[in-house]
Chain A
Amino acid sequence: MELTSNSALDLWKRAVLLIRDNGRDFTDNDSRVCRELFNLVLNLECVDDSGVDEPIKTMIESKKWVYPSKEELSGIMFKEFQAPIYEYTYGGRIFGFGNELDQINSFIIPLLSRDPSSRRAVLVFYDPCEDSKIDNKNTPGIIYVQFRVVDDKLNMNCHIRSNDLFFGWPANIYQLFCLMSFVSKKLDLKNGTITTFSNSAHVFVDDFSEAEDVLGV
């Protein structure tokens, strides 16, 4: 299924409702009932004007939970905020994959500078050496991001293996926006569209009533 919008808040609401109304239930490893849709595609167009942080603000203002701050969410995407207290961080995987490879500055930016039409600008988050261990439950949700330059705009396509649409997607879309802005600035491009492809797009069933309250639906 695929949804498209130029408002992050609208896209988020519609996605949660879509799962509520069309998802199938299953019980996860922690015995929580989860409603999911397979392979949900969400296109956020014109991201600069989409109010990309509106879903986060909505979560924080609801005061129902302690939601991570925008500063922490964006911070963990960048290496300078890399902190050893985390099991992994996206920043670590982006700027120091395998403790050595800076995927953005050593690959993505030089590649797209030289060949803007390249389809090889893939940024990988999942590290099989670290993550492909049977007992390891703390592995990144985002598997890879692909950058494409189309009509002088930078577009991003992101594969998320398991995506809590209610709690996680607001953070994910904001983090992707921060990363996109970082790269587009370096390449002197405008921001375009962010597409998230969620293999398991889900919401926990016991969160639906709170979700409806927060989303005002």
Chain B
Amino acid sequence: MNKIEQRIIQALTLSKNSDISTTVLVKSVFPSEYEELVSLMNNPQRDFELVKIGKRNKARLHRKLLYHLNKLSEDDFIKITRVVGKGEKFFCLNHEKIVLDKKDFAVRRVVESISSLKDDVPFLSGIEEYEDDRVVKRFDSQNWLTKINSFVLECSRFQSIKKLYETLSESYPIFNDVVGLLDFQDVVDKSSVEEQTNFLRKINIDTKDYNKYVNLVFDLTKVRNYVRLSDFFDVFSEVNPDKVFVIFQTNSKTLSGQNRLISSVVKNFSEKKIRVNVQNVDLHKAPYMIGRAGAYTFDEQDWELYCSKVRGKTIGVCCSETSIYIDIYRSFKDKVNYSAFRELIMKIARALLLATSTQRKKSDSLFRPVNKLNQGFQSKFFSFSYNYIRLWNYDLLFSQEQDKDSGFVIFNDLLMSAVDELDEFCKSEETIFRSCGIPIRFKIVLSSAFRRFDKDFLSPRIYKKVLIKSLSDYYSDIIVRDIRRRESLYKVFRGGDRVRFFRDSRSLPEEIISEFHFLLTNHYLPFFTYDFRSLSGEVTLDSFFR
């Protein structure tokens, strides 16, 4: 165990107070460094340069400490008790996890329990060779077996925004990518602007600290109070959180009746370069989320079943347990080999099954915060989850063909057959496990990977991005062809996919809204994003966007 983490535990164990602030912890954990920076900041010469160095070192120490605090918090050994002022967090030991006897003994026990948790993962996935070749990678490999990727929380289950925040805070240790807050329009309806601002500021800090994402999902078809919503989006634009995304569930008809609201959103968001994520509920009703790994969603039939049988009994539902990505470029850059691709997919499927089996064994302790909240229906929370195989730079599989169109058709067929093979594998494994008295759900879905899945690991992007300047761009042959391809892929990527349009932000909101209408009514794109950040490099129409 890391020495800094040991010192943190020691400080929390020996403290007479019920909780300790980050500032006090910095002093206890780094006493000599802290003393040094105080002397710089209070230097007798009042040298401004030295004060600046002192301040910089102080910030550095805070960041260093926060990194370890977050690790301990994610492993459930400590808890955040409150956030005060501009976001300073207070921590205490998690007594549910640690039984304190004598104080010195407690420190030792904590250290031992952390070590045993970390050591208890001698896991052979069967894909080690591919990992060594940097062809495949597990998402968040360190926490692969101990955290789920994503889940949704039903906002309607929380009486106040405060309660929602509390649950969200307790949930950070159980997931490693994204949580979607469904029907967030209800939260906006029931809370004041001040509460909303506070909430956004806090989750902005949390998501940055923990490197996790939160999606606020607005079902625009259910919106009643446009004024409150408009005010909220003003606040959102002002706070402009990095890792908090807004998702609009809508359709063309709904959009037509909400022109003022959407105009103001588009104006605000485009000015602040905030992405607008649109889910077309006419094509796909199950909620979409976007995190670090990529897009997430549920199968329509599963979602329908969840709504009719489970909704209201649990606080939400798990979407993804584990993810692995394949870097197609690295795998097949020399020669495209379809049979090798299928073999790889099946090896990954076996690895995912072994991983979920390991995760299951520890599920009562790993997912305690949500299990507690789903009392009586714990298993339902996990009964609609998927395991993801994400593809990166997959364009390579068809772009090398002389005739790119037929190349794409072959690629699409290859994916379809891989999906069939995966379904068959999952079904027979479910049958095997069930016949052994282990009633598991095991589903694998394909999806695309985002570059932020692992920037250092992924091969450079081989596809090009393009900037949309007006509605007429959507009529160009190249764009039409590429949209058609993405429409086909939506049917194969059952774990969800996202088409990102880079959009020149200088246009009037009305022009952009008419493009939304065009996409919602003319194309099979269940989820698309308008990104208003300017493109560096290619801004041509000779290829597409992601």
A89 to B361, CA, bound (A): 12
CB neighbours of B362 from chain A (8 A): 83
Segment of A45-53, A101-109, A137-145 engaged in the interface with chain B: A137-145
Q: Say yes or no: A164-B435 contact (C-beta < 8 A), given A65-B429, A66-B429, A85-B382.
A: yes
Q: Say yes or no: A82-B364 contact (C-beta < 8 A), given A66-B354, A68-B438, A87-B439.
A: yes
The majority secondary structure among interface residues of chain B is: helix
A82 to B360, CA, bound (A): 10
A90 CB within 8 Å of chain B: yes
Q: Which of B393-412 contact A (CB under 8 A)?
A: none
CB neighbours of A163 from chain B (8 A): 435
CB neighbours of A68 from chain B (8 A): 357, 432-433, 436, 438
Q: How far is the CB of B433 from chain A (nearest CB, A)?
A: 6
Chain A 125-144: CB-based contact to B (< 8 A → 1; otherwise 0): 00000000000001011100
A7 CB within 8 Å of chain B: no
Q: Is the CB of A167 within 8 A of B360?
A: no
A26 CB within 8 Å of chain B: no
A172 CB within 8 Å of chain B: yes
Q: Is the CB of A84 within 8 A of B378?
A: yes
Q: How far is the CB of B359 from chain A (nearest CB, A)?
A: 8
CB neighbours of A65 from chain B (8 A): 428-429, 432
Q: Is the CB of B429 within 8 A of A86?
A: no
A92 to B382, CA, bound (A): 18
Q: Is the CB of B437 within 8 A of A87?
A: no
Q: Which of B365-406 contact A (CB under 8 A)?
A: 367, 371, 374, 378-379, 381-383
A186 to B434, CA, bound (A): 29
Q: Which residue of A lies closest to B349 (CB)?
A: A66
Q: Is the CB of B367 within 8 A of A84?
A: yes
Q: Is the CB of A81 within 8 A of B435?
A: no
A213 CB within 8 Å of chain B: no
CB neighbours of B440 from chain A (8 A): 85-86
Q: Is the CB of A175 within 8 A of B432?
A: no
Q: How far is the CB of B403 from chain A (nearest CB, A)?
A: 38
Q: Which residue of B lies closest to A125 (CB)?
A: B437
Q: Say yes or no: A138-B439 contact (C-beta < 8 A), given A84-B363, A85-B360.
A: yes
Q: How far is the CB of A18 from chain B (nearest CB, A)?
A: 18
Q: Which of B336-358 contact A (CB under 8 A)?
A: 350, 353-354, 357
Q: How far is the CB of B524 from chain A (nearest CB, A)?
A: 30
Q: Say yes or no: A73-B436 contact (C-beta < 8 A), given A66-B354, A86-B360, A164-B431.
A: yes
CB neighbours of A58 from chain B (8 A): none
Q: How far is the CB of B426 from chain A (nearest CB, A)?
A: 11
Q: Is the CB of A84 within 8 A of B379?
A: yes
CB neighbours of A85 from chain B (8 A): 359-360, 363, 367, 378-379, 382, 440
A98 CB within 8 Å of chain B: no
Q: Is the CB of A83 within 8 A of B435?
A: no
| Residue with the greatest number of chain A CB neighbours at <10 A, chosen from B360, B429, B438 | B438
Q: Which of A160-186 contact B (CB under 8 A)?
A: 163-164, 167-168, 170-172, 175
A167 to B432, CA, bound (A): 6
Q: Is the CB of A90 within 8 A of B383?
A: no
A175 to B437, CA, bound (A): 9
A29 to B28, CA, bound (A): 64
Chain A 41-61: CB-based contact to B (< 8 A → 1; otherwise 0): 000000000000000000000
A138 to B381, CA, bound (A): 16
Q: Which residue of A lies closest to B354 (CB)?
A: A66
Q: Is the CB of A86 within 8 A of B436?
A: no
Q: Say yes or no: A72-B361 contact (C-beta < 8 A), given A66-B350, A84-B379.
A: yes
A76 to B361, CA, bound (A): 9
A72 to B354, CA, bound (A): 11
A171 to B364, CA, bound (A): 23
Q: Is the CB of A66 within 8 A of B360?
A: no
A163 to B361, CA, bound (A): 24
Q: Is the CB of A84 within 8 A of B371?
A: yes
CB neighbours of A84 from chain B (8 A): 363-364, 367, 371, 374, 378-379, 381-382
A69 CB within 8 Å of chain B: yes
Q: Which residue of B lies closest to A65 (CB)?
A: B432
Q: Select which of B353, B374, B437 is within 8 A of A140 by beta carbon.
A: B437
CB neighbours of B382 from chain A (8 A): 84-85
Q: How far is the CB of B363 from chain A (nearest CB, A)?
A: 4
Q: Select which of A71, A75, A167 is within 8 A of B431 by beta carbon.
A: A167
A208 CB within 8 Å of chain B: no
CB neighbours of B360 from chain A (8 A): 72, 83, 85-86
Q: Say yes or no: A72-B438 contact (C-beta < 8 A), given A85-B360, A167-B431.
A: yes
CB neighbours of B361 from chain A (8 A): 71-72, 75, 81, 83
Q: Which residue of A lies closest to B357 (CB)?
A: A72
| Residue with the greatest number of chain A CB neighbours at <10 A, chosen from B357, B359, B437 | B437
A83 to B435, CA, bound (A): 18
Q: Is the CB of B431 within 8 A of A86?
A: no
CB neighbours of B364 from chain A (8 A): 82-84
A38 CB within 8 Å of chain B: no
CB neighbours of A97 from chain B (8 A): none
CB neighbours of B381 from chain A (8 A): 84
A83 to B357, CA, bound (A): 11
CB neighbours of A67 from chain B (8 A): 432, 436
| Residue with the greatest number of chain A CB neighbours at <10 A, chosen from B350, B362, B367, B432 | B432
Q: How far is the CB of B354 from chain A (nearest CB, A)?
A: 6
Q: Select which of A66, A75, A88, A170 is within 8 A of B439 by beta carbon.
A: A88
Q: Which residue of A lies closest to B429 (CB)?
A: A66
CB neighbours of A138 from chain B (8 A): 434, 439
Q: Select which of A71, A82, A171 is within 8 A of B437 by beta carbon.
A: A171
CB neighbours of A86 from chain B (8 A): 360, 379, 438-440
CB neighbours of B374 from chain A (8 A): 84
Give the top 6 A-B pairs by smallest Cβ distance, nearest first. A168-B435, A84-B378, A171-B436, A164-B435, A85-B363, A83-B363
Report 25 cross-chain contacts, Cβ distance below 8 Å, ordered by A residue: A65-B432, A66-B350, A68-B438, A69-B357, A72-B438, A73-B437, A83-B361, A83-B362, A84-B364, A85-B378, A86-B360, A86-B438, A86-B440, A87-B383, A88-B379, A138-B439, A164-B435, A167-B432, A167-B435, A168-B436, A168-B437, A171-B435, A171-B436, A172-B437, A175-B436
Interface residue ranges, B against A (CB under 8 Å) = 350, 353-354, 357, 359-364, 367, 371, 374, 378-379, 381-383, 428-429, 431-440
Please give 11 more A-B residue pairs, beta carbons under 8 A apart, in addition to A85-B367, A140-B437: A68-B432, A68-B436, A68-B438, A72-B361, A84-B367, A87-B439, A89-B437, A142-B437, A167-B436, A171-B435, A171-B437
